[in-house]
Amino acid sequence: MEATTYRATHLRDVMDNRGIRHTWVARESGIGKALFGHYVNRRRPVPAERARRIAAVLGVPLFLLFESLTNDTSSPASDDQAA
């Protein structure tokens, strides 16, 4: 079964434009500050449920903050594509 994950495309922009601290969003979303920082800086994919919580806390639609990623675990070359 393939799990939906997202990449934060405009999460930082929305928080910065609204003057919202990253630590506040992390706390309200129930996500650790360090992990949330990885999401904001696009170092880790965001699981669907966490993406929905972040969008709800910020009061914006999911698609304004994230883009969907495809997790294709059937291809061993999928990890090499980032190079």
Domain ranges of the chain: 5-72
| Neighbour-count burial for 23-49, b at 16+ CB within 10 Å, e otherwise | eebbeebebeeeebeebbeeeebbeee
pLDDT one-digit tens code per residue, 15-35:
999 999 999 999 999 999 999
Written as tens digits, the pLDDT of the chain (83 aa) is: 458 999 999 999 999 999 999 999 999 999 999 999 999 999 999 999 999 999 999 999 999 999 999 654 444 444 444 44
Secondary structure letter of residue 6 according to DSSP: E
Per CATH, the architecture of 5-72 is what? Orthogonal Bundle (1.10)
Q: How far is CA 4 from CA 10, 13, 18, 40, in A?
A: 18, 23, 28, 18
What's the whole-number average pLDDT of the chain? 87
pTM of the predicted model as reported, rounded to 2 decimal places: 0.80
